Structure 1
Amino acid sequence: MSSSPNGSGEKHAAGAFDVRNVIAALIGFYGVVLLVVGLVDGDEALEKTDGFDANLWVGLGMIVFALAFALWSRLRPIVVASPETRDDEESRPA
């Protein structure tokens, strides 16, 4: 998809404004936080979960989920028409 800096009315990808990128960034950030907490947690946290390092594994899962969202956003971008193109399409008779 090409963007048009000169306002010629071409369609372009949503890019950073795609909500999937925002979701991927937020979930990825929280996943990294949980991963770090899981790596530095003491034995008390492991005792609470019967030896299962929940923070570590949930953090890894969230990072994988965030990567999947980012990949989805890359492979299937949302195409947005410029305002000029939308005005032209709305003014055409049906």
Structure 2
Amino acid sequence: MADSGPARRTAGAFDIRTIIALLFVIYGAVLTVVGVLQPAAEVAKAAGVNINLWAGIGMLVFSGLFALWVRLRPIVVPESGTES
């Protein structure tokens, strides 16, 4: 098999999208747990909508989409050569 050129390097963990996805996973997990454990009296104050649960689930879905984006379209880091 012929080599198609220099090896591609990706940003990996240093891709800002990965960091954003990780933060949304953390915040989404916290809100989901708070929404599940929230008393019914607190839900009644918000017109019967468990906003913490829905916001947490939304954040988890959003972070999953970001992770999918990172996986499907990785950022390629250019090779640094010794140019004069």
Q: TM-score range by the shorter chain?
A: 0.7 to 0.9
Q: 1:26 corresponds to which residue? A: 23
Contact 1:38-1:53 at 8 Å conserved across structures: yes
In the alignment, residue 31 of structure 2 is paired with which amino acid? L
Q: 1:4 corresponds to which residue? A: none
In the alignment, residue 55 of structure 1 is paired with which amino acid? N
Contact 1:28-1:62 at 8 Å conserved across structures: yes
Q: Secondary structure at the match of 2:49?
A: coil
Q: Per-residue displacement from partner, 1:30-89 (whole Å, max 9, x unpaired)?
A: 0000000000000221121111000001100000000000000000000001222xx44x
User: Which of 1, 5, 12 is equivalent to 1:15?
Assistant: 12
Q: Per-residue displacement from partner, 1:4-53 (whole Å, max 9, x unpaired)?
A: xxxxx743111110000000000111000000000000022112111100
Q: 2:34 corresponds to which residue? A: 37
Whether 1:59 aligns to 2:78 is no
TM-score of the superposed pair, with normalisation by structure 2: 0.86
Identical pairs, percent? 48
TM-score of the superposed pair, with normalisation by structure 1: 0.77
Runs ≥4 in structure 1, deviation > 3 angstroms?
none
